[in-house]
Amino acid sequence: MAVLVVLAGAIPVLAQQQITGLVRLTGEGVSLLERRGRIALEIDLSQAVPWRVFTLDDPRRVLLDF
């Protein structure tokens, strides 16, 4: 199972922007799309946030930790 995770605009601005404790969904919010046989998760946020992606077994799943 191939999984592609896209966080819209979150990565490049982390070093440039002061991060506060309040983040809001903006624009489309959250979208889950199938593109060329892969799954794309897009999250539109009001500011950059630290995050990580990892997998767990039993049951198999992908987790996004914000």
Mean pLDDT of 18-47: 84
- List the one residue out of 7, 4, 62 whose CA is nearest residue 36: 4
Task: State if pTM tops 0.75.
Answer: no
Mean pLDDT of 18-28: 77
The answer on pLDDT for 5 being more than 80 is no
Chain mean pLDDT for the chain: 77
Number of Cβ within 10 Å of residue 45's Cβ equals: 19
- Band (pLDDT 50/70/90 cuts) for residue 60 is very high
